[in-house]
Amino acid sequence: MGSWNTFPRSVRELTEWLYGADARSFADMAAHMDPMPSVTPDGASFPLVRPESEWRAELNPDEYHVLREAGTERPFVGEYTDTKTVGTYACRACGADLFTSETKFDSHCGWPSFWSPLAGEAIIEIEDRSLGMRRVEVRCANCGSHLGHVFEGEQYGNPVDLRYCINSISLTLSPSALPQE
């Protein structure tokens, strides 16, 4: 684990707050207060709509909790946190391509971070007021599954000053067939 002193203040405070003694109950409470909507903010249906019973049967319990109940995996434990492999990251629920290794960067925040999605229409962003904070949630535009959140203005030095903070467990990496750099 890197030095906590180098973390953006807001992320550190968020992490401590989320993963304190009551983290589990807060997360559960938030999930129940703010169930996964079946429509986009525009009121349209997601292109892929499946009964929750099917998602529950297909995904393992941890995947289901993050993807379909908008949970958050613990920091620094996700399989793609520090991954440098060249390739494409797809939605672990539906397989839609979402991010590429080209925009992945070292945020030291404990979750995979990208400064841009693969394409603007690959994801949708929804204002999230759960847990008493205003954040912008990121979901798969194809199936509506929860991916993470996007933060702006943290001055990581990337071209657009954005950080898509995405749960590893929401993604599946397909390594590129091209030679690794």
Contact pick of 27, 140, 147, 166 for Zn ion (by CB under 5 A): 140
Which residue's CB is nearer to Zn ion, number 15 or number 72?
Answer: 72
Given the rule CB under 5 A, which of 24-32, 86-94, 111-119, 125-133 is the region that contacts Zn ion?
86-94
> CB of 63 within 8 A of CB of 146?
no
Measure the CA–CA gap between 61 and 42, rounded to whole angstroms: 30
Measure the CA–CA gap between 80 and 94, rounded to whole angstroms: 18
Q: For the CB of residue 68, give the shortest distance to Zn ion in the complex, in Å.
A: 10
Q: For the CB of residue 90, give the shortest distance to Zn ion in the complex, in Å.
A: 8
> CB of 99 within 8 A of CB of 89?
yes
Both structure tokens of 157: 């030095």
- DSSP tag of 45: B
Q: Give the per-residue contact string, 142-181, with Zn ion (x = CB under 5 A; - = no).
A: xx-x------------------------------------
Q: Which residues bind Zn ion (CB under 5 A)?
A: 91, 93-94, 96, 140, 142-143, 145
